[in-house]
Structure 1
Amino acid sequence: MLKLVKYDFRRDRDKFLAVFVIIILAQIGLGFTKLHDYERFTLNGIAYVIAGLIFLVMAARTFFNNLNSYNRRLVPVRTLNTVLSPLVLYLALLLGIILIALTHFGVYLSMYSSSFLPENFWKVGLLVLLQAYWFAGYIMLTLMVSITVARSVKFKGRVWIGLATAYLLQNGIFYLEYFIFKSNFTAWESVFQFEVIDETDTANGMQLIQGHLNLAPLLFEGVIAVLLIAVIIKLVNKRVDV
């Protein structure tokens, strides 16, 4: 599968590298602005999110091209590898963005000070980062299912069917998860759902309180993810209108 990931990366290597270069230059440019710190931090975060969304679109496009690629079917490649390759590629690209962001944050702390950070910032920050990473991978997986379903129908309106599938999957799964467990592990509102306790109210200074983590929804989403991959493989193997 790694060979397929390398193949997909090399096919659009210049575009991927261009996004990395642009995001680095954008962050450097923001560093020389006269904005307030909170305004600069906001723009920094928005820039990283935009880069992640661009990679999401590019990875989804790679998966779409793979479904339509006749060359990919000329070699004995397992369907599972073909399906997982764009997902792994997206997660790898997203990891690159995260590493750049962490390096950026480390440079900032080396120039200034970390005394303003809440006491448990790193613990809560790591949890939020893992949740956001899982959430991004889940969104990519639902898009892959939607693309596969849209390419599997023989009548008009494929685009609308794909959009409807994506909407139903993303909202239906989270609603069912909340209905069963009264909690979401990756729902967007739960990723950044934490409270700030002022330093005057605690003995050890300002702290962050993240929402209670329930592993049951995580296991539920893991099972759903496996089922979604199985659905994609089933539809791809049928090669209906592909």
Structure 2
Amino acid sequence: MIRLLKYDWKRNSTTVLGALVVLIIAQIAIMVMGFMWGWLPAAMLGLGIMAYSSVGVLMVVLVVKTFDYNIKSYQRRLLPLHSIWSILSPLLMGCLGVLCLGAVVLLHLWMYFNLLGLHDSSLAFHTVFDNWDYLKALIMLVWNFIFLMLTIFFATAVSRTTSSRAGVWIGILTFLVLHSIIGWVSQKLFGDGYWSQSGSINEEGVFFQLGPVGQSWGDAILEVIVSILLLYATAYLIERKVAA
């Protein structure tokens, strides 16, 4: 497992480190230009969130590409390891990246609202939980990433069960149908789910709210069960069905 993770990291380290450098430069540039030119804190925060979102999307793409490479690689398939490790290795790499990125985001927000004192009418940041729940929000971010990746991995494995050009569209359809079914079941059983977030932009500024609502335990248990099923179903497809 550790060896596979090391190989996956070596393949993606240049891209990841390059993206982090660009992200740091972009965030510094946003803050410097914002203070020099008198930008509203809302504008500075909005640009910063866009930069973080771009890196997050890049992380998802890298993890999916790594997984796709692993299940197609002839050398990987010769290793005396269960196919489940080809799933867990890129997944762990992505979790570490998302965890670090989420921690940086929270640290950046703390700097905005404490060290820089950006508390005025142009920006209001409201939370419905205390400081301890910031850690729970970070954990939930990682879990949502894991759940998303497992559904994408399953759809990718399904698409690789055929060597025809329609495989990509089969994978996309599988992903959409899977999420539709999970969402429908969750809605029927537990209502609106675990996390609720809302935001608005008006002439007074930017307002953002995030907090736990609904029946969290039932929804979480459902996602854990589905994740385990997806993990073993994906491993089965890799072992038995994936086209070389």
TM-score by length of 2: 0.83
Gaps of 5+ in 2: 201-208
Partner of 1:198: none
Partner of 1:11: 11
Find the partner of 1:79 among 79, 83, 106. 83
Q: CA deviation at 1:124?
A: 4.7
SS in 2 for 1:76: coil
In 2 relative to 1, CA 233–163 (structure 1 residues): closer, same or farther, beyond 3 Å?
same
TM-score by length of 1: 0.84
Q: CA deviation at 1:106?
A: 3.6
Letter in 2 for 1:5: L
Answer whether contact 2:197 2:211 (CA < 8 A) is retained.
Answer: no
Determine whether 1:152 maps to 2:158: no
For 1:65 and 1:208, locate their aligned partners in 2 and report how far apart those are by CA, in whole Å.
37
Q: CA deviation at 1:208?
A: 7.4
Letter in 2 for 1:55: M
Q: Which runs of 4+ in 1 moved over 6 A?
A: 114-117
For 2:28 and 2:236, locate their aligned partners in 1 and report how far apart those are by CA, in whole Å.
46
For 2:136 and 2:7, locate their aligned partners in 1 and report how far apart those are by CA, in whole Å.
32
- Aligned residue pairs, count: 227
SS in 2 for 1:91: helix
Determine whether 1:100 maps to 2:104: yes
Partner of 2:226: 224
Partner of 1:201: none
Gaps of 5+ in 1: 196-206
Superposed, which structure 2 residues align to 1:1-242 within 5 Å?
1-32=1-32, 33=34, 34-113=38-117, 120-185=129-194, 190-193=195-198, 210-242=212-244
Structure with the bigger percentage of strand: 2
Identity of aligned residues (%): 25
CA-based RMSD of the aligned residues comes to 2.5
